[in-house]
Amino acid sequence: MVLQGLINYAYRRQREYLEADCAWGVRHAGVLRTRPVGYFSAEFGLHESMPIYSGGLGVLAGDHIKSASDLGIPLIGIGLFYGQDSASYGGRGAGLRSRGNAGRA
């Protein structure tokens, strides 16, 4: 019962956070509600459980997304999704082959 109470509390707090109308973005950037900002990045570092970024720029883009959420600014992140991380391709970038080695494995 204690665990269920904690889960319900966390759920209620998340709903309050998501439905709050007193955020900075509501007061100062309300016009963006109907036309949100598109944020383009090749990678987003959102959480360590989602290994879809390869370095510092992905972490920075993830921080921008989180900050926009905290401020209540409607922002849509648009990026690339790689089926595997770049390390599993043997250091060939994100697994993309250049024209010079397209025929090689």
CA atoms of 80 and 102, how far apart (whole Å): 21
Query: Is 92 part of any domain?
Result: no
Query: Is 91 part of any domain?
Result: no
Owning domain of residue 27? 2-85
Q: Does the predicted TM-score (pTM) go above 0.75?
A: no
Which residue has better confidence, 44 or 82?
44
Query: Is 69 part of any domain?
Result: yes
CB 29 within 8 A of CB 19: no
Query: Is 102 part of any domain?
Result: no
Per-residue confidence at 102, pLDDT binned at 50, 70, 90?
A: very low
CA atoms of 77 and 7, how far apart (whole Å): 28
Query: Is 90 part of any domain?
Result: no
Query: Is 103 part of any domain?
Result: no
Domain count, the chain: 1
Query: Is 104 part of any domain?
Result: no
E strand spans, the chain = 37-40, 75-78
The maximal CA–CA distance of the chain, rounded, in angstroms, is 62
The answer for residues whose C-beta is within 8 angstroms of residue 43's C-beta and 6 or more apart is 52, 53, 54, 55, 57, 58, 61, 79, 80
pLDDT in tens, 14-71: 888 777 777 788 788 878 878 888 999 988 888 877 776 667 888 899 899 999 988 8
